[in-house]
Chain A
Amino acid sequence: MEIILLIYETIVSTLISLGRLALILVPILVLIEIARYYQVIEKLTSRVKGFMQFLTLPQEAAFPLLGGMIFGIVLGSALIIDCAREGHLEKRDLLLIGIFLSISHSIIEDTFIFAAFGANPLIMIGMRTILAILITRIAAYFLDRLNNQEPYRL
């Protein structure tokens, strides 16, 4: 009997916390859809030149990189495949985008889901982005050495 009561209480408290999550998640998802509809990413890509230069990636890589970072890895890789087909990106660039996105993707949705349960959203976004940038930069250095190219200097 006690166990049935326990299950009932767990279900109720879980549904309450999911309701709290919905209050945050629904507006965020609607905003993300609006941003996608008005092609905000296309407008942002021209403003991240310095960022792309630091990652030693060409300007064409900005679109899949930002798209994946904000909207999620599935969309990001769809954009990457598109870019690769058009031949804008080299093999090395694709690999670096993959490394960056595997660490930092759909940061808005993921972060707000955890924020609803009490995590600090700024620390979450900061940690993931900084680590992704550092690791991608280090990988770029070693990839270029491996391919006997002159490593990019900062």
Chain B
Amino acid sequence: MTLLAVPVKKGLLKSGQLLWLLVKIIVPISCLVAILDYYGIIESFAAFFAPAMSLFGLPGETTIALLLSFFVNFYAAIGVITAMSLDARQITVLAVMIGICHELPVETAICSYTGLKVPVSAALRIITALCAGLLLNNIYNLF
């Protein structure tokens, strides 16, 4: 048992830090979304993007989640998702798109160490995420 003590302690410490980070990011963002929703701002925003998002089988307001995950990080996107009511299929499509493409400013910089240029890597991830969403939505439509 003593053998496991070191990694378990490290894992618990890391989870604590990550959860605190999540609280700091997600709580303010979901409050902001709730307030914007209360004043009907989200509704008009969503209506504008609804045709584009219908390609992925998603409601228009998920544009906010996608944009937040692309340019900030995916914890911010979770703040938006918790404030919306989405079914399992919609969350899965959104999760795949966000999983492929998130935190671009930081992660493309990290990836540039491999020789992959920042604009190339950003474009690659955005295009892949959009294609994945389109593909997954069509696969779901088959069933």
Contacts and interface: CB of A to CB of B under 8 A. Distances in A.
- A-B interaction: yes
Interface stretch (A24-32, A49-57, A145-153): A24-32
Interface in A104-131: 107, 110-111, 113-114, 117-120, 123-124, 127-128, 131
A31 B95 contact: no
B88 interface: yes
Interface in A27-55: 29-34, 36-38
Contacts of A103: 100, 124-125, 128
B34 A7 contact: yes
- The secondary-structure label for the interface of chain A is helix
B54 interface: no
B22 interface: yes
B110 A74 contact: yes
Interface string B113-136: 111100001001100100110011
Given A10-B83, A94-B114, A127-B132, A18 B23 contact: yes
Contacts of A9: 34
Contacts, number: 158
Given A7-B31, A124-B96, A30 B7 contact: yes
- The residue in B86, B87, B100 that gathers the most chain A C-beta atoms within 10 A of its C-beta is B100
A108 to B, nearest CB: 11
Given A22-B19, A114-B95, 15 more contacts: A7-B31, A7-B35, A10-B83, A15-B27, A25-B15, A25-B19, A30-B11, A33-B11, A77-B111, A98-B114, A101-B111, A102-B125, A117-B95, A120-B88, A124-B99
11 contacts: A15-B23, A21-B19, A29-B12, A80-B114, A98-B111, A99-B124, A117-B95, A118-B88, A127-B96, A128-B132, A131-B100
Interface of A: 3, 6-7, 9-11, 13-15, 17-18, 21-22, 25-26, 29-34, 36-38, 73-74, 77, 80-81, 91, 94-95, 97-99, 101-103, 107, 110-111, 113-114, 117-120, 123-124, 127-128, 131, 135
